[in-house]
């Protein structure tokens, strides 16, 4: 007799948005589903209108936003349910041990009081997303910062009543306040900053219509008359950068801040699951349980065949594939064929040139069509020359309409930006201003050629971060620099070090194909995952205090599928494919 399916014990509910022109605690609240979908977490998306009727099947509830929750939630909590609220008291502040903080002055245009922009500080050791000594928030001129600081944008200002304060807030200038950031009371927790909206804002930045503000140390001169993605970055030159070890005078964005916010969310969820003795499962980011992955990209500026041959030789020696972002007019047919035929299985991608040509969809389509004819195939990946960017998310529409699935144009164009100036080492899907999640993935470019753009010492903290946050270590090496002193050796060294850490190096095409297939997987119960497409090496982690691997500070047991699982089959957490 088959075992009855166990209901999914974790529910996530986004509260209705307030009416137009009303103050709100969160932006892009529905993006929480994109965040948790990328994590692969087993959870049920609960529409607000169905919440009361579905409470009996839940052990843990996550809500996003401020509003009015049904009174049934109170009874459910009092009966043993665990609740995590993101930026909302929801009319049940007594359960969370907090009350709303009023505006300092009130006339017609007042309302809900936001946290504004600031930093989450003094995270309790049992909740901090970072291990002791990790250099998050050790910003210039701040002195010692206890527990690090996570940059946030928006949220709900509250005052604690009888809750335990697990983290506090400073303002955007690092000045302390009495505002709590994370509160706990029994099995209820509140993260007051707008966690979801902060992830979106950091990953995507501002719309770009003019040059950005440069750094004051001379290493980030973004005021250069060329509009690029980094002109829209929102992380702070002082508070969000850290010194690059071994390189006096150089700081970089060495911590993926958006990924740290995701980790804080997961740590709270897993903490409540542990209290509830609920064995939550998730479909792991990478094949075969790998801790992280590596990626090499190569922008072919100049299209010098001798440089290309030098890069091919370095990649062959390193035994790693690369994604060649080809700028027009490209290489000759013989050299392109040699790249395609290499044992490393390289990828040919587009490199849209809007530096010497107009920024327009017509021009982009023209260049794309000529590259398709040159390659003899439709490319999957694009990176813009000079990381050019204008406007907001319109460019993703251009990509979608020609079939590009992965972009790499968000990133660093100046040495002092080395690292995660868009806050993540993960693939992510951007969101349009109206909240629509766009069907194109972004993988930011955190550095360019070691020894030319950034010192080779920068490789270690970038690899550390990708490993620490279970992401993708992306290194750009131009063929044009490959014959310069030290560059080829730096490429081979970073690949070897990544392999030593357990990273597998993959092309952009491979990364996005895996992610697309992975995101089609569906949790049909607490223990059963349906795989509509083959997902070789699919790995499920299940929360277990006796587990054999540790992620986000919690123990999990690990189950891995066969090398080539059949499509349409179920994957049972803790058992493998059925």
Whether residue 14 is found in the same domain as residue 149: yes
Q: How far apart are CA 347 and CA 374, in angstroms?
A: 13
Q: What are 19-37's pLDDT values in tens digits?
A: 998 899 999 999 999 999 9
Q: Taking 70 as the threshold, does the pLDDT of residue 575 lie above it?
A: no
Q: Taking 90 as the threshold, does the pLDDT of residue 124 lie above it?
A: no
Whether residue 488 is found in the same domain as residue 525: no
Element (H, E) at 98: strand 98-100
**Domain annotation covers residue 359:** yes
Element (H, E) at 459: helix 459-468
Q: What is the pairing mode between strands 539-543 and 281-283? A: antiparallel
Neighbours of 558 (CB within 10 A): 17
3-class secondary structure, 74:
helix
Q: How many domains would you assign to the chain?
A: 3
Considering 468, 496, 515, which residue would you say is the last residue of a domain?
515
Please tell me the predicted confidence (pLDDT) of residue 148: 56
**Domain annotation covers residue 94:** yes
Residue-range definition of the domain harbouring residue 533 = 520-577
Considering 515, 541, 562, which residue would you say is the last residue of a domain?
515
Whether residue 390 is found in the same domain as residue 535: no
**Domain annotation covers residue 240:** no
Whether residue 296 is found in the same domain as residue 276: no
Whether residue 304 is found in the same domain as residue 452: yes
Whether residue 270 is found in the same domain as residue 295: no
Whether residue 52 is found in the same domain as residue 184: yes
Element (H, E) at 374: helix 361-375
Q: Which long-range contacts (CB under 8 A, 24 or more apart) does 46-53 make?
A: 46/11, 46/12, 46/13, 47/13, 48/13, 48/14, 48/15, 48/16, 51/11, 51/13
Average pLDDT over residues 514-525: 96
Q: How far apart are CA 9 and CA 280, in angstroms?
A: 8
Evaluate whether 31 touches 434 at the Cβ level (below 8 Å). Answer: no
Average pLDDT over residues 158-182: 93
Q: Please report, for the domain that includes residue 130, its CATH number.
A: 3.40.50.880
Considering 469, 499, 515, which residue would you say is the last residue of a domain?
515
Compute the Cα dihedral for 406, 408, 409, 410 and give only its sign: positive
**Domain annotation covers residue 211:** no
Q: What are 546-562's pLDDT values in tens digits?
A: 999 999 989 999 988 65
Whether residue 504 is found in the same domain as residue 524: no
**Domain annotation covers residue 241:** no
Whether residue 178 is found in the same domain as residue 275: yes
Whats the size of the chain, residue-wise? 578
Whether residue 475 is found in the same domain as residue 506: yes
- Spatial neighbors of 524 by CB under 8 A, at least 6 apart, are 5, 530, 570
Evaluate whether 252 touches 511 at the Cβ level (below 8 Å). Answer: no
Whether residue 274 is found in the same domain as residue 290: no
Top pLDDT among 453 and 122 is at 453
Whether residue 87 is found in the same domain as residue 119: yes
Q: How far apart are CA 327 and CA 483, in angstroms?
A: 19
Residue 404 binned pLDDT confidence (cut-offs 50, 70, 90): very high
Q: Taking 70 as the threshold, does the pLDDT of residue 77 lie above it?
A: yes
* Strands of 539-543's sheet in order across: 281-283, 539-543, 554-560, 549-551
């Amino acid at each position: 007799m088959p075992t009855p399916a166990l209901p999914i014990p974790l529910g996530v509910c986004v509260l209705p948005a307030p009416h137009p022109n009303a103050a709100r605690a969160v932006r892009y609240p529905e993006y929480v589903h994109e965040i948790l979908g990328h994590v692969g977490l087993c959870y049920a998306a609960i529409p607000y209108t169905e919440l009361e009727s579905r409470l009996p099947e839940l052990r843990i509830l996550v809500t996003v936003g401020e509003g009015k929750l049904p009174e049934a939630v109170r009874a459910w909590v009092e009966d043993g349910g665990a609740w995590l609220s993101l930026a909302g008291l929801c009319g049940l502040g007594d359960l969370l041990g907090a009350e709303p903080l009023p505006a300092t002055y009130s006339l017609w245009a007042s309302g809900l009081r936001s946290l504004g922009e600031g930093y989450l500080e003094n995270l309790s050791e049992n909740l901090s997303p970072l291990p002791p000594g990790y250099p998050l928030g050790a910003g210039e001129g701040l002195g010692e910062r206890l527990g690090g600081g996570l940059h946030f944008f928006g949220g709900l200002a509250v005052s604690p009543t009888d809750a335990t304060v697990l983290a506090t807030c400073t303002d955007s200038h690092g000045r302390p306040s009495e505002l709590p950031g994370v509160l706990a009371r029994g099995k209820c927790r509140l993260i007051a900053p707008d966690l979801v909206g902060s992830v979106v804002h950091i990953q995507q930045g501002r719309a770009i219509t003019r040059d950005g503000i440069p750094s004051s140390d001379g290493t980030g001169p973004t005021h250069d008359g060329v509009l690029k993605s980094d002109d829209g970055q929102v992380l702070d030159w002082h508070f969000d950068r850290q010194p690059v070890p071994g390189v006096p005078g150089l700081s970089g964005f060495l911590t993926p801040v958006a990924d740290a916010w995701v980790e804080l969310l997961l740590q709270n969820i897993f903490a409540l699951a542990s209290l509830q003795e609920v064995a939550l499962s998730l479909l792991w980011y990478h094949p075969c349980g790998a801790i992280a992955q590596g990626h090499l990209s190569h922008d072919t500026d100049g299209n010098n065949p001798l440089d290309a041959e030098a890069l091919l030789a370095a990649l062959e020696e390193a035994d790693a594939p690369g994604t060649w972002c080809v700028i027009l007019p490209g290489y000759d047919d013989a050299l392109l064929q040699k790249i395609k035929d290499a044992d490393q299985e390289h990828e040919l991608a587009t490199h849209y040139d809007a530096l010497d040509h107009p920024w327009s969809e017509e021009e982009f389509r023209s260049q794309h069509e000529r590259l398709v004819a040159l390659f003899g195939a439709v490319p999957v990946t694009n990176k813009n020359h000079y990381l050019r960017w204008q406007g907001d998310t319109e460019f993703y529409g251009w990509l979608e309409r020609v079939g590009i699935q992965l972009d790499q144009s968000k990133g660093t164009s100046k040495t002092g930006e080395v690292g995660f100036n868009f806050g993540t080492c993960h693939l992510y899907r951007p969101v349009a201003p109206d909240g629509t999640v766009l069907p194109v993935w972004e993988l930011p470019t955190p550095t360019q050629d070691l020894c030319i753009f950034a010192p080779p010492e920068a490789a270690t903290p970038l690899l550390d971060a990708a490993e620490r946050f279970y992401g993708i270590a992306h290194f750009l090496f131009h063929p044009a620099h490959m014959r310069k002193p030290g560059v080829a050796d730096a490429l081979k060294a970073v690949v070897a070090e990544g392999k030593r850490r357990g990273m597998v190096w993959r092309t952009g095409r491979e990364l996005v194909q895996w992610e697309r297939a992975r995101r089609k997987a569906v949790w049909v119960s607490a223990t059963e995952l349906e795989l509509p497409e083959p997902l070789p090496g699919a790995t499920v982690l299940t929360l277990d205090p006796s587990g054999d691997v540790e992620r986000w500070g919690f123990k999990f047991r690990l189950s891995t599928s066969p090398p080539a699982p059949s499509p349409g089959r179920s994957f049972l957490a803790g058992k493998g494919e059925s």
